[in-house]
Amino acid sequence: GKVGIIGVPFEKGQRKGGVALAPDVIRSAGLLDELKSLGLDVRDYGNVEYDPSDISVDNMSHLGHVAGCTQRLSEMVQCVLQDGRNILTIGGDHSIGIGTIDGHVKTNKNIAILWIDAHADLNTNKTSESGNVHGMPVALLTSELADYWPYLPGMDWQQPMLSIRNVAYIGLRSVDRYERLVIEKFGITAFGMEDVERFGIHRVIHMALKKIDPDNNKSLHVSFDIDSLDPLEAPSTGTPVRGGLSLREGIHAMEELYRTCRLNAVDLVEVNPKIGDQKSIDLTVSAAIHIIQAGFGYTRRGLKVPEGVTD
Ligand code: DIR
Ligand code: MN
Ligand code: MN
Ligand code: MN
């Protein structure tokens, strides 16, 4: 397998400094070597650089930066996929999902998204209580939500091409009132922590796939917000919510998705190496690397001996 890595040192989709450091901190913790040890051909495309546009829209903080960054990111994602590589994007805050999913859907229209997060990230500028764009990417990306937005200058390159029927949530436990209303109105596939409790992560993953990819033929995209994990195991993140997925559940989810052979894009977002003491930061970075490895073929059964050296 071939994989391309893009770092997105972007933190203007929320208000806490530090998330922009995550791509380099996660690389420094040995990410590339870990992926290479899985037998992958790994190419690092470096960090996104962009020109912000000078626009503003009511209750959307730093939209000019979000627009500039995600437009460039979408182009880079398209390049990597066209090079025949699966893609790993390291954020940055979750607003970067606008760029990665736009790039994926422009390359392959038949995609399905697993949004693994404590939050639904489904606000518009009218419903958001924070004005933070990292709480809005799913609403920007999906066609059913298009009517709920005003015209957004700087975002013309991004037309919502994805149906909300192709999105499943896993790990929800902090959903705003209007987000809940939208989830119910459109019957969005959503497995919150309650469902993980009730069915177990294994069944939840397979029920989600059955809903969003019933014919087992879609290009799968996981957008993994590290705050989906319990803060005991991933404390260094901007909006932690207690009672989350264990690292074991997160790893199992990624292993099962890898086994479909159709997991072609992974985002890992919201690690903030400025939150907490060194022990918390190390714990969070190592959790992120475990999640990524599982999504790219690491298995807890042990790896196979490469072909040709078995005798
Ligand atoms: C909240 C928090 N729903 C918002 N969202 C977060 O700001 O819209 N998303 N933290 O990751
Ligand atoms: Mn998120
Ligand atoms: Mn979140
Ligand atoms: Mn967040």
Does ligand 1 come within 6 angstroms of the Cβ of 128? Answer: yes
Distance 217 CA to ligand 1 centre (A): 31
Report the candidate in 253, 267, 271, 241 with the shortest Cα–Cα distance to residue 138: 267
Q: What is the mean pLDDT of residues 201-229?
A: 98
User: Which residue has its alpha carbon closest to ligand 1 atom 3?
Assistant: 135
- Percentage of the chain beyond pLDDT 90 is 97
Does ligand 1 come within 6 angstroms of the Cβ of 130? Answer: yes
Distance 116 CA to ligand 3 centre (A): 8
Q: What is the mean pLDDT of residues 286-309?
A: 92
Q: How far apart are CA 14 and CA 69, in angstroms?
A: 14
Q: What is the mean pLDDT of residues 116-141?
A: 98
pLDDT in tens, 75-105: 999 999 999 999 999 999 999 999 999 999 9
Atom of ligand 1 nearest to the CA of 179: 3
Q: How far apart are CA 191 and CA 170, in angstroms?
A: 5
Tell me the C-alpha to C-alpha distance, in Å, between residue 41 and each of 84, 105, 227: 11, 24, 29
Residue 310, pLDDT above cutoff 80? no
- Buried residues in 163-194 as b, exposed as e (16+ CB within 10 A): ebbbbbbbbbbbbbebbeebbeebebbbbbbe
Does ligand 1 come within 6 angstroms of the Cβ of 94? Answer: yes
Query: What pairing do the DSSP bridges indicate for beta strands 167-172 and 189-192?
Result: parallel
Distance 308 CA to ligand 2 centre (A): 43
Q: What is the mean pLDDT of residues 131-143?
A: 98
150 neighbors 60 (Cβ within 8 angstroms): no
- Percentage of the chain beyond pLDDT 70 is 99
Distance 270 CA to ligand 3 centre (A): 7
Does ligand 1 come within 6 angstroms of the Cβ of 180? Answer: no
Tell me which of 130, 170, 178, 241 to substitute to probe ligand 1's pocket, judged by most ligand atoms within 8 Å of the beta carbon: 130
pLDDT at position 12: 98
The ligand with the least distance to the CA atom of 137 is 2
90 neighbors 26 (Cβ within 8 angstroms): yes
User: Which residue has its alpha carbon closest to ligand 1 atom 5?
Assistant: 135
**Burial (Cβ within 10 Å: 0-12, 13-18, ≥19) of residue 156:** exposed
What's the ipTM? 0.92
pTM beyond cutoff 0.95: yes
Distance 217 CA to ligand 3 centre (A): 28
What is the token pair recorded at 208? 């989600």
**Residue 184: its H or E element:** helix 177-186
Residue 134, pLDDT above cutoff 80? yes
Q: Is 58 designated active site?
A: no
Q: Is 94 designated active site?
A: yes
pLDDT at position 213: 98
Report the candidate in 251, 271, 161 with the shortest Cα–Cα distance to residue 202: 251
Average pLDDT, the chain: 97
- CB neighbourhood size of 77 (10 A): 29
170: left (phi over 0), alpha (psi -120 to 50) or beta: beta
pLDDT at position 306: 80
User: Which residue has its alpha carbon closest to ligand 1 atom 1?
Assistant: 135
